[in-house]
Amino acid sequence: MTHPSLPQRSSPPRTILLLLLGLLAIGAAGASLLFGPVSLAPARIMAALMGQGDPIATIILWDLRLPRTLLGLMVGGILGLAGAALQGYLRNPLAEPSVLGTSNAAALGAVAALYFGLSEIHPAILPLLAITTALLSLILLVFLDGKSNSALSLILGGIAVGTLAGAAISLSLNLSDNPFAAMEIMTWLMGSLENRSYDHIFIAAPCVLIGMVLILWDRKALDALTLGEDGAASLGINLARTRLRLLIGTAIGVGGAVAVSGTIAFVGLIVPHLIRPFTDQSPSAILVPSAIGGAVLLTLADISVRIIPTSNELKLGVVTAFLGVPIFLAHLIRQRGMWQ
């Protein structure tokens, strides 16, 4: 039930939007299973799905492409959702997970695992350490923010945490005396879903699920925050609890995603902007569509890195950056036209 004090907007059919996005997600997932460096006819893919395919097609489908597809959907989904939630909470159209320093902190944990050779002990150490550093960054952010419950102080604290983590990553690259370790770190930082397995899914899936639940928990509070912090508090919104759940959800969800994919740029920033014109533009209405849209965008970007002919496979983070910049500039130009 919508509070009478909240601004009312005409709302396009939300069910139709979700249906269309769902169909796009299914199509992107199907294309991800179909396309790759090794050409497989649709008939071979269908036979492998039914358990009647030849050994080569079965291995490619079940052991290589399916884990990669599922991870693309999960990672894109949490990045899109977190970006939309943070833009609503901070009331800042430029907000995304990196604003809170979560992405850099998770990346720092992964870099530490690579730098000290801990990832060679067991594959799970790298993502677990990335998630741990993301949660530690949350504790530091809450300490820096104190009891202010201010969006501005949260942004400033996030910039400080993200800058500190970024500096530590640069320091590790600077001090690394092993060129192979430095190359591995740089490759991981560019982001990729290549050579991912079901082990990565089992690590990332719980984190993404918990993060999504916590972020969606306070979706109506985001609508109330359009009236400002004082206005939201007058409507009975507990700003401290809303902030804590949002921060924990972002840290766990994005930390788990970055832990298995590396750094993926722009998805959390541009997806809410692409979705917003097709909704009533209230923060809560953008959340679920942004999650599905993020899953679609990242899956399509991952398909492109596999089919673009290059000597070495392009890195996913590089492709999303190239996709994101023109989309973001087009949005900026459109907004400038509105302002004038």
For residue 32, tell me if it sits in a domain: no
Mean pLDDT of all residues in 157-181: 87
In angstroms, the Cα distances linking 101 to 40, 166, 291 are 41, 9, 20
Percent of the chain whose predicted confidence (pLDDT) is above 70 = 93
pLDDT at 327 over 90: no
Return the structure tokens found at 258. 């970055």
Q: What is the CATH number of the domain that holds 303?
A: 1.10.3470.10
pLDDT at 150 over 80: no
Residues 210-237: tens digit of each pLDDT: 999 999 998 888 888 888 777 888 888 8
Given this model, what pLDDT does residue 337 score?
59
Residues 116-141: tens digit of each pLDDT: 888 888 877 888 898 889 889 888 88
Mean pLDDT of all residues in 20-40: 92
pLDDT band per the 50, 70, 90 thresholds, residue 41: confident
Given this model, what pLDDT does residue 149 score?
64
In angstroms, the Cα distances linking 117 to 7, 8, 125, 224, 258 are 54, 55, 10, 47, 19
Mean pLDDT of all residues in 43-69: 89
**218: domain range?**
70-339
Contacts of 191 (CB under 8 A, 6+ apart): 261, 262, 263, 264, 265, 315, 316, 317, 318, 320
Query: Of 114, 161, 106, which Cα lies nearest the Cα of 132?
Result: 106
- State the helix-helix crossing angle for 179-189 and 151-175, rounded to 10 degrees: 150
For residue 161, tell me if it sits in a domain: yes
Residues 86-112: tens digit of each pLDDT: 999 888 887 888 888 888 899 999 899
pLDDT band per the 50, 70, 90 thresholds, residue 18: very high
Given this model, what pLDDT does residue 3 score?
45
Q: Cα 88 to chain center, whole Å?
A: 16
For residue 86, tell me if it sits in a domain: yes
For residue 16, tell me if it sits in a domain: no
For residue 217, tell me if it sits in a domain: yes
C-alpha 269/C-alpha 289 separation (Å) is 14
pLDDT at 293 over 90: yes
Mean pLDDT of the chain, nearest integer: 86
pLDDT at 15 over 50: yes
Highest average pLDDT, of 4-8, 171-175, 297-301, comes from 297-301
Mean pLDDT of all residues in 311-329: 82
Surface-to-core class of residue 9, CB atoms within 10 Å of its CB (0-12 exposed, 13-18 middle, 19+ buried): exposed
Check residues 155 and 279 and name the one with the higher pLDDT: 279
Given this model, what pLDDT does residue 12 score?
53
**Beta carbons of 325 and 266 less than 8 angstroms apart:** yes
Given this model, what pLDDT does residue 5 score?
45
pLDDT at 338 over 60: no
pLDDT at 64 over 50: yes
Given this model, what pLDDT does residue 294 score?
96
Check residues 311 and 294 and name the one with the higher pLDDT: 294
C-alpha 313/C-alpha 16 separation (Å) is 36
DSSP type of residue 36: S
For residue 12, tell me if it sits in a domain: no
Give ∠ CA 329-333-335 in degrees, rounded to 5: 115
For residue 6, tell me if it sits in a domain: no
**Beta carbons of 268 and 51 less than 8 angstroms apart:** no
Return the structure tokens found at 156. 């400033």
**Residue 83 CB coordination number (10 Å):** 30
For residue 39, tell me if it sits in a domain: no
What is the total count of domains within the chain?
1
Check residues 65 and 99 and name the one with the higher pLDDT: 65
Check residues 229 and 270 and name the one with the higher pLDDT: 270
- The dihedral built from the CA positions of residue 30, 292, 98 and 332, taken in this order, carries a sign that is positive
| H helix runs in the chain, sequence order | 14-34, 42-49, 55-59, 66-90, 102-115, 125-145, 151-175, 179-189, 198-217, 219-224, 229-234, 239-261, 267-275, 283-307, 316-339
